[in-house]
Chain A
Amino acid sequence: MNLAGAKYRITYEAFSKFSGSLGKVDSIEMLGEITNRHLKYLFNFRAFRILLLDKDSISGYTFSKGKIYAHNNSENILDYEKELLEKHTPFSEPVKPDSLPVYLSELDLQNGVLWGWYISYPDYRICVSLLSDDNVKFNHTDSDIMHMLVDSITSKYRQICLSEELKCKNETLQDAIAQIELKNREIEAINSNQQDVINNRTEELLNKNKKLLDLSRLNSHNLREPLTRILGLIEVADHLDSKELKETMLPEIKTSALELDTIFKKVVQQSEEEAKITINQDGGYE
């Protein structure tokens, strides 16, 4: 087996291990950690940097000397990355020391070379860059494995973003459902309260009507009863002798008339009281 073949086999095994580890990743932080752990077995670099941009967010990592630097806002975009995003042209050129961020300036590069690629996906734009030097050389032939790495990171990143978005939407949905349930309970409470008010009011009215009816029947009888005695006596007066007229009829007419007067007063009083109660109750509902 030649050297290139052996290298290919080792790299392939390293990539398999990386893919296996990637399966367990469920957060942006963990994605960075797992990548950091496996990166050095895939190709040579002094620093490796990947920036993922979608229409409203930026996320990225720089890996160097075993450390991870995370990026999540537009200020983290470097000048050469802006150019890459504009022109999409891959490049490799000698490092200009002032073009690098502070955390990479201590690398002490021997004839450092900066490599840059622009890779486009349907929903992401990716800037990949890499630092190499005479001691740690990046080979053109490694760019294949580098692309595979970017593919894996991007698809994992997309998966994490989608699942977080889904989680977020689920939570919103749960909140909405809880709100709806709450409102439903409120509405039910209002409805049942309304029904109670209606029932109470109906019962009140029924009671009032019954009272009025009773009053009317009682009045009809009580008022007329003594009056019918007076009228009855007048009806039979022709058939009474003078003794009966004087000793029975006149005193009875008097008694009945007085009785009528008493009842009449009582009826007026009762009606007034009933009217007062009605007025007060209606007033209370205003």
Chain B
Amino acid sequence: MNKPLKVMLVDDQKMANFINKKLIEVTDFAHNILAYTLPDAALLDIETQKPDLIFLDLNMPIIDGWKFLDNLQQNKNFTQVVIVTSSTSSIDKEKAQNYTQVVDFLIKPLTRNTILSLKNKLTAGS
């Protein structure tokens, strides 16, 4: 990792953000973590914050993960996205492959090991 990562967490569950933030901190995955429970607020901030990576939940009211992704594509924002969902449905995983900016599809609960694997994957990829 050349520089500390800036990560944006988007999950309507405050506790999910709390847990994932904690995991990111203890695994030293990123130093700058922005947590959003409102997806539209996250979309508004994205251009000014310019995060390196977005942790995106799928099942959210009003703007769900898919709408969030569609919105990014419309705005030609190609920030890398890691989907973090509690759904084990294979349909969602297949659908995620339609979005090139989705770099990983993780199923909750995240663990230290999942974060470390992701870290390795992104390092190898960059």
Contacts and interface: CB of A to CB of B under 8 A. Distances in A.
A150 B18 CA distance: 123
B89 A229 contact: no
Interface string B57-88: 01100000000000000000000000001111
A229 B19 CA distance: 8
Given A235-B111, A252-B15, A220 B89 contact: yes
A256 B23 CA distance: 19
Contacts of A240: 22
A224 interface: yes
B6 interface: no
B44 interface: no
Given A225-B59, A228-B108, A229-B15, A236 B87 contact: no
B87 A220 contact: yes
Given A221-B86, A225-B13, A235 B59 contact: no
B118 interface: no
Contacts of B26: 236, 239
A224 B86 contact: yes
B15 A235 contact: no
Contact of B16 (A216, A221, A229, A248): A229
A239 B89 contact: no
A216 B19 contact: no
Q: Is the interface of A mostly helix, strand, loop or mixed?
A: helix
A213 B89 CA distance: 10
Interface string A129-148: 00000000000000000000
A221 B109 contact: no
Interface string B109-122: 11110000000000
A232 B23 CA distance: 9
Contacts of B58: 221
A30 to B, nearest CB: 88
Interface string A246-276: 0010001000100000000000000000000
- Residue of A224, A227, A228, A233 with most chain B CB atoms under a 10 A cut-off: A228
B89 A216 contact: yes
A217 interface: yes
B88 A224 contact: yes
Interface of B: 13, 15-16, 18-20, 22-23, 25-26, 58-59, 85-89, 91-92, 108-112
28 contacts: A217-B87, A217-B89, A217-B91, A220-B87, A220-B88, A220-B89, A221-B58, A221-B86, A221-B89, A222-B59, A224-B88, A227-B86, A228-B16, A228-B86, A228-B108, A229-B109, A231-B109, A232-B16, A232-B23, A232-B108, A232-B110, A233-B15, A235-B19, A235-B23, A235-B111, A239-B26, A248-B18, A256-B15
Given A220-B89, A224-B88, 14 more contacts: A217-B89, A224-B108, A227-B86, A229-B13, A229-B15, A231-B109, A232-B20, A233-B15, A235-B23, A235-B109, A235-B110, A239-B25, A239-B26, A252-B15
